[in-house]
Amino acid sequence: MNNFVFWSPTKFVFGRDTESRTGALAREFGGRKVLLVYGGGSVVRSGLLDRVKASLSASGIEWEEMGGIQPNPTDDRVYEGIELVRSRNIDMLIAVGGGSVIDTAKGIACGVPYEGDFWDFYCGKKIVEKALPVGVVLTIPAAGSEGSGNSVITKRDGLIKLSLRTESALRPKFAVMNPELTFTLPPYQTACGIVDMMVHIMERYFTNTPDVEITDRVAEGVLIAIMEEAPKVMCDPENYEARANIMWSGTLAHNGVCGTGRAEDWSSHFIEHEISAIYNVAHGAGLAVVVPAWMQYVAGVNPVKVAQFARRVMGVVSQGDDKSVAAEGIKRLKDFFMSIGMPVTFKELGIDNPDIERLVAKLHEHKGERIGGYVKLSADDTIKIYEMMQ
């Protein structure tokens, strides 16, 4: 087990009607005037935004608004938010939505107190030392950004999608999580979220760090729970209990508890980020295509942990060797993704003629000659992985 720091200070307030506590929570963490960041019209139409505003009013908190954040959020909205916050003396960001909205709020939060370009943090030139406090009202369980110190933003100029990781500076102060708010998510988006949270765990699970039984077992437990609850939310979108299990799983998948003391991988995310940056597909759907191909490729080199995953998570009982057990586990994972309506090929993702050369070139331009931890992948490897998705 490697040395580690685990610091997840977010206050999670989970359950029915919890959005009515947003104002009190904002006040508890020092907010006086907040910027409400949100996405499309659904938070407006559903009345959620009004309920949040009523809660802020009741606590004597003022607000400004910035709506219309798109999936795969872009730098232009971050710059816009930074200007707005600076000009209106705003002291806290509250994201009402999912990962794209939260990540935009985080970009603004670290950009405001910094004199230079906030992009410096994302491209690794600078480390975030100060940030405005961020609060969250979560509506999409997927990205795990409500409990992580991370943010992913795409630079429009050049379509560079980069992720920023901080130990604690960008962890939200609080996250309000009402599973009822996820009842109206379209099935495709629900399924994308399920894939995304599963892959957040798998990026941590696939490691060569030895003797990490405790995190292996926790990670396996969360994965099993997600796969048990997923069919329930797919057939019965208003099943509160199943939605609650999925929502909390999404947080545990990414707040770090599944990754303590071990080297992590993240190559599937990097491989996918290039796809969604160029073709603007949903990140979770992209991952459903990437991960089985990635697993199949790495199992050819290093099958140990893939076989453990197959046995403990996918329930493969077999006397076969690690490679055959791994292959059966990957087949079952693919079947599971298909069972919840996810694509597993480029074509199913709506990309008939992927420009694989461009994907590979951009991937290694952004992430260096070799990516990943479980198996280190050069362009010779990643081209084969992209080809396996066809």
Taking the least distance from each CB to a copy of itself, the nearer of 261 and 300 is 261
Tokens of 209: 């760090």
From candidates 190, 249, 267, 382, binder to a copy of itself by CB under 8 A: 249
Taking the least distance from each CB to a copy of itself, the nearer of 8 and 70 is 8
Rounded Cα distance between 372 and 377, Å, is 6
Please, which of residues 168-227 interact with a copy of itself by CB under 8 A?
168, 210-214, 216-222, 224-225
Residue among 76, 136, 149 at smallest CA distance from 101: 136
From candidates 50, 228, 236, 335, binder to a copy of itself by CB under 8 A: 228
Residue among 276, 268, 287, 381 at smallest CA distance from 334: 287
Rounded Cα distance between 181 and 43, Å, is 9
Taking the least distance from each CB to a copy of itself, the nearer of 127 and 301 is 127
From candidates 63, 248, 270, 386, binder to a copy of itself by CB under 8 A: 248
Rounded Cα distance between 92 and 62, Å, is 11
From candidates 134, 195, 242, 307, binder to a copy of itself by CB under 8 A: 242
The one-letter amino acid at 1: M
Taking the least distance from each CB to a copy of itself, the nearer of 7 and 318 is 7
Q: Is 319 in the site for a copy of itself (CB under 8 A)?
A: no
Sort strands 134-138 and 92-97 into parallel, antiparallel or unpaired.
parallel
Residue 225, exposed/middle/buried by CB under 10 A (0-12, 13-18, 19+)?
A: middle
Rounded Cα distance between 289 and 51, Å, is 38
CB 85 within 8 A of CB 35: yes
Residue among 319, 315, 294, 285 at smallest CA distance from 382: 294
Q: x/- binding map, residues 1-40, to a copy of itself, per CB under 8 A?
A: xxxxxxxxxxxxxxxx-x----------------------
Taking the least distance from each CB to a copy of itself, the nearer of 35 and 218 is 218
Taking the least distance from each CB to a copy of itself, the nearer of 213 and 352 is 213
Q: Is 67 in the site for a copy of itself (CB under 8 A)?
A: no
Taking the least distance from each CB to a copy of itself, the nearer of 4 and 323 is 4
CB 243 within 8 A of CB 179: yes
Q: x/- binding map, residues 114-133, to a copy of itself, per CB under 8 A?
A: --------------------
Rounded Cα distance between 284 and 192, Å, is 4
Q: Is 317 in the site for a copy of itself (CB under 8 A)?
A: no
Q: How far is the CB of 4 from a copy of itself (least distance, A)?
A: 5
Taking the least distance from each CB to a copy of itself, the nearer of 115 and 213 is 213
Q: How far is the CB of 319 from a copy of itself (least distance, A)?
A: 17
Q: How far is the CB of 209 from a copy of itself (least distance, A)?
A: 10
Q: How far is the CB of 174 from a copy of itself (least distance, A)?
A: 9
Tokens of 171: 């962890």
Q: How far is the CB of 3 from a copy of itself (least distance, A)?
A: 3
Segment contacting a copy of itself by CB under 8 A, of 40-48, 128-136, 182-190, 238-246: 238-246
Q: How far is the CB of 212 from a copy of itself (least distance, A)?
A: 8
- Total interface residues for a copy of itself by CB under 8 A: 44
Residue among 20, 18, 22 at smallest CA distance from 36: 22
Residue count of the chain: 390
Rounded Cα distance between 310 and 316, Å, is 6
CB 153 within 8 A of CB 162: yes
Q: Is 265 in the site for a copy of itself (CB under 8 A)?
A: no
CB 264 within 8 A of CB 157: no
Q: Residue 145's Cα: distance from chain center in Å? A: 6
Q: Which residues bind a copy of itself (CB under 8 A)?
A: 1-16, 18, 168, 210-214, 216-222, 224-225, 228-229, 241-242, 244-245, 248-249, 252, 257, 260-261
